[in-house]
Amino acid sequence: MTTQPTQTDGPLSSMLVLDLSHALAGPHAAMMLGDLGARVIKVEAPQGDETRGWGPPFVVPPVVGASPESTYFLACNRNKKSVVADLQSREGKELVERLIRRADVLVENFRPGVLDRLGFGPERLKELNPLLVVLSISGYGHEGPDDDRPGYDQIAQGEGGLMSLTGESGRPTKTGVPIADLLAGVFGVCAVLAALIERRSTGHGQTVRTSLLSALVGVHSFQGTGWTVAGQLPQATGNHHPSVAPYGLYHCADGDLQIAVGSQNLWRALAEVTGLNADDPRYLTNADRVRNRDELERDLTALFSRESAQTWLERLSAAGIPAGRIRTLDEVYSCEQTRRPGLTVEVEHATLGCITLPGTPWRFDERPEPLHTPPPILGQHDFVVRAWLDLLDEPVRFAEEEGPATETAGL
């Protein structure tokens, strides 16, 4: 039914995921499920997911007349098939209803209440498919005074406290990637997998909810308990750890390096390598070193600045002290350690040809390397998906002529 390659069977190869989401948090979650082998059908509005227009950078295909592709869209939509449907129209709603009846998982990140107004509220979804697991991602949660606010990553980073912990003190700084969106997607997938397991015993699906705000609160970690338990308000400490010292970035004669001295033995090893006095009362314990961090940074910077970063990295490595350089992304993707575990994948895009994408961060010992499919162009699989649904609506003929092992066969 299609000339596109299909994924290698994965742990979720019997699952069908309906991706009604847009932008990043929901699409990232659906992509992760696709990476695990699920068949993912992405339903896009006639104008397409808004990230198709987020750029630059855009890549202009060599195919005459083909639309430029946004690298933002390419980042979160591999292993999916794209169909176009206007959810405001009768035809669009009918298509989505047919897909819901067949799906195991539905991913959506509309503002709370929007799906209800489109005619797909919780009761309707249960009526269409009692086994359906719904992942609903919002900006600030599905209840409370801010439940109807739209969610945007940087705003959530600010209101979720992350920017107050990042960068230099007094200068709130966002992270370099949309971490609230990405974490919401990751946490959402964790909950979906748990709901699918629970479905085996309960015999019914359920809705699991997360949000950009809850994802950020979920990773406050020791910074959160610093306030909730100890009553100490954490502050940004730049490129240095707030609770361990020395642990951070230092300038050398020709560049920067980072060290992580997380134990007293490592402190004594560092003191020996650098010539510092390990028993200096200012630096005797980790608590002492954190209290006197500014002085310790000055002392270490004065020492590190005398020689090159590479020289220090060799010395620190020989002494067993964790250390590393600062790499740009071009260096990361050309690094053999990044390429060897398959952290990048090559796919054959419909208009761009062979492209390289960031890969999956896991491997299964008992499964072969997964085969990935490229992010789709808008509406690329309209015919394939509709034809597949038509076949499923004729079960006798479908069984006789096609004989699929699962309902996702043919996708």
- Could you give the residue numbers annotated as active site? 181
Backbone angles phi, psi at 210, to 5 degrees: -150, 175
Q: Which structure tokens are listed for 373?
A: 């499919």
Q: Which two tokens mark 329?
A: 């992304």
Report d(CA 281, CA 178) in Å as an integer. Answer: 42
Gap between the Cα atoms of 376 and 4, Å rounded = 10
Q: What is the distance between the terminal CA atoms of the chain, rounded to a whole angstrom?
A: 8
Burial environment of residue 160 by CB neighbours within 10 A (0 to 12, 13 to 18, 19 or more): buried
Contact of 24 with 76, CB cutoff 8 Å: yes
Contacts of 336 (CB under 8 A, 6+ apart): none
Contacts 24+ apart (CB under 8 A), 111-114: 111/138, 111/139, 111/148, 111/149, 111/150, 112/136, 112/138, 112/142, 112/147, 112/148, 113/148
